[in-house]
Amino acid sequence: MPEGSTEAESGTQRRTPQWGMAIDLDRCTGCEACVVACSSENNVPTAGEDQSAKGRAMHWIRIDRYYEGDFPNIRVRHRPVLCQQCDEAPCEPVCPVNATYQNAEGLNVQVYNRCIGTRYCAINCPYTVRFLNWYPPEWAEPLGLQLNPDVSVRPAGVVEKCTFCVQRIKRAKLNAAAEGREVGDGEVQPACVQSCPAEAMVFGDLSDPTSRVAHLANSRRAQRLLEELGTKPRVFYLERAD
Amino acid sequence: MLLLLLAAAGALMAADQPLSFSHAAHIEKARMQCTDCHSGAKTRDNAGIPSIRRCMACHQFIATDRPEIGRLAAYWEKQREVPWLRVYGFSKDAAVQFRHAPHARAEIECARCHGDVASMTVAVPAVVHTMGTCVQCHRDNSASDDCVACHF
Task: State the Cα–Cα distance between residues A126 and A149, nearest whole angstrom.
Answer: 31
- CATH number corresponding to A3-238: 3.30.70.20
Task: State the Cα–Cα distance between residues A69 and B73, nearest whole angstrom.
Answer: 76
Q: Is the pLDDT of residue B3 over 50?
A: no
Task: State the Cα–Cα distance between residues B32 and B20, nearest whole angstrom.
Answer: 18
Mean pLDDT of all residues in chain A? 92
d(CA A100, nearest CA chain B) in Å: 10
How do residues B84-111 score in pLDDT, each as one tens digit?
998 888 888 889 999 999 999 999 999 9
For residue B151, give the nearest of A12, A112, A153 by CB distance: A112
How do residues A57-80 score in pLDDT, each as one tens digit?
999 999 999 999 998 999 999 999
Q: Is the pLDDT of residue A7 over 50?
A: no
Structure letter (DSSP) for residue B151: B
pLDDT band at B54 (very low <50, low <70, confident <90, very high): very high
Q: By CA distance, what is A3's nearest residue in B?
A: B106
Higher pLDDT, B13 or B28: B28
Q: Is the pLDDT of residue B20 over 50?
A: yes
Q: Is the pLDDT of residue A4 over 80?
A: no
* pLDDT at res. A13: 45
* pLDDT at res. A14: 63
Contacts of A168 (CB under 8 A, 6+ apart): A188, A189, A190, A191
Q: Residue A42's closest CA among A175, A178, A174, A133?
A: A133
Q: Is the pLDDT of residue B2 over 80?
A: no
Q: Crossing angle of helices B52-59/B67-77, nearest 10°? A: 130
Mean pLDDT of all residues in chain B? 88
Q: Is the pLDDT of residue B6 over 60?
A: no
* pLDDT at res. A15: 80
Residue type, B11: A
List beta partners, residue A22: A202, A236
Q: Collect all residues of chain A within an 8 Å Cβ-Cβ radius of residue B147.
A: 101, 103, 109, 111, 114
Q: Collect all residues of chain B within an 8 Å Cβ-Cβ radius of residue A114.
A: 147
For residue A113, give the nearest of B43, B95, B102 by CB distance: B95
Q: Residue B117's closest CA among B39, B35, B16?
A: B35
How do residues A118-174 score in pLDDT, each as one tens digit?
999 999 999 999 999 999 999 988 988 999 999 999 999 999 999 999 999 999 999
Mark yes or no for CB contact A103/B146 under 8 Å. Answer: yes
* pLDDT at res. B125: 86
How many other β-carbons are positioned within 10 Å of the β-carbon of residue B74?
10
- Domain residue ranges of chain B, discontinuous segments joined by +: 23-49+84-149
Mark yes or no for CB contact B147/A101 under 8 Å. Answer: yes
Q: Collect all residues of chain B within an 8 Å Cβ-Cβ radius of residue A112.
A: 95, 151
- Domain residue ranges of chain A, discontinuous segments joined by +: 3-238
pLDDT band at B11 (very low <50, low <70, confident <90, very high): very low
Task: State the Cα–Cα distance between residues B90 and A43, nearest whole angstrom.
Answer: 18
Task: State the Cα–Cα distance between residues A182 and A127, nearest whole angstrom.
Answer: 33
Q: Collect all residues of chain A within an 8 Å Cβ-Cβ radius of residue B92.
A: 152-153
pLDDT band at A221 (very low <50, low <70, confident <90, very high): very high
